[in-house]
Amino acid sequence: MNLPDGLLADEWTVAAWLLFIPVLLLSLRRAPLRRLADAIQGNVWLGLIVMLTLLWSVKAGVRPGLSLHLLGASVLVLACGPWLAFLGLCAVLAGVTLNGDGGWHGYALNALLMAGVGVSVAYAVQRFVERFLPPQLFVYIFANGFFGGALAISAVGAASSLLLAATGVYPLDYVLEEYLPYVLLLGFSEAWLSGMVVTLFVVYRPAWMSSFEDARYLRD
């Protein structure tokens, strides 16, 4: 996570930008930007961006590209939907990049890993829960908030590990032994934080969660 400039070959950087720009344009087209004009939804989206920018700034790591920090993708997906979540995490990445944590050459690659993979996995979990699991409040909070958060950050860590190994930056054995296990451990922290935030929002501010419907989860 947070791959610095110069860590990968220029070919990977160019390919990342060629893929990221169409994805960003598609997100801008599909995202319900008009929803941000609503005071509640707009403030929730911006507030989560600010909170996650601070969380991303608190990280640990011993080697370039092998850093650890919380993600927050599942909370953004549940609160704002996948397209606004992707744009929100891109804004968070821009904030930490402006703060000197990373570089702009590797911005596209970092965005695809953390925002792209994180949001895709979190949204896939949400869709799975809505389709196959019973519509209960506990299921919504635990499966989406706790499990979805842990799975999203674990997927980002796994994708980063495979990329670093495939490009020859670090040996596969080193990444699997010295980095990936700590990502999986970080998944527990991500799960508790995401689950706690989702629980607080659902209990006290259900209007802040665009994916939560009273008629579906509180009908009994």
Domain range for 211: 10-217
Provide the domain count of the chain.
Answer: 1
142 inside domain: yes
78 inside domain: yes
Other Cβ atoms closer than 10 A to 66: 24
Per-residue pLDDT tens for 53-99?
A: 999 988 887 788 888 999 999 999 999 999 999 999 999 999 999 98
User: Which pLDDT band holds residue 220 (cuts at 50, 70, 90)?
Assistant: low
Share of residues in the chain with pLDDT > 70 (%):
99
Cβ neighbours of residue 57 closer than 8 Å, sequence gap 6 or more: 69, 96, 99, 101
Cα separation of 95 and 116, whole Å?
17
4 inside domain: no
What is the SS3 assignment for 39?
Answer: helix
191 inside domain: yes
Per-residue pLDDT tens for 100-123?
A: 777 899 999 999 999 999 999 999
25 inside domain: yes
